[in-house]
Amino acid sequence: MATKKSKLKKATAKAPTATANSAAPAGAPQPDPSALSIGDLKNLSAIIDVASTRGAFKAAEMAGVGLMYNKLQAFLAKVAPPEQKPEDAKAGQPTTVAPATAGGGK
């Protein structure tokens, strides 16, 4: 007489399993799920800012948190490309002038 565990093992062994690798082309490198990106570090900076604003840290902890926050900001300033402000983006785009109409238009 087979137990529930052995039946379960047999059923899962026969069932086809779909993996993330089956959708990716053969030989394609898989991204490291534990890798940190610049976006992750920016989000961490925002989290520290919000937590300190809400009073999540004790006074004795603020020096250490501030030190790490400043180091993180300095690192992001070195490695992250500068963000364009909306007025800077407009200045870099060529302006187009609409052609004048023949009848004066007024």
CA atoms within a 13 Å half-sphere pointing along the CA-CB vector of 19: 6
Confidence at residue 78, expressed as pLDDT on a 0 to 100 scale = 93
In a domain, 57, yes or no: yes
What is this structure's pTM? 0.49
Q: Total structural domains in the chain?
A: 1
In a domain, 54, yes or no: yes
Residue 43: domain span:
37-79
In a domain, 98, yes or no: no
In a domain, 31, yes or no: no
| 10 vs 90: which has the higher pLDDT | 90
In a domain, 66, yes or no: yes
Over the stretch 16-62, which tens digit does the pLDDT of each residue have?
444 444 555 667 788 888 888 999 999 999 999 999 999 999 999 99
In a domain, 60, yes or no: yes
Q: Is there a contact between 37 and 24 (Cβ–Cβ < 8 Å)? A: no
Confidence at residue 40, expressed as pLDDT on a 0 to 100 scale = 93
Distance CA 31, CA 20 (A): 12
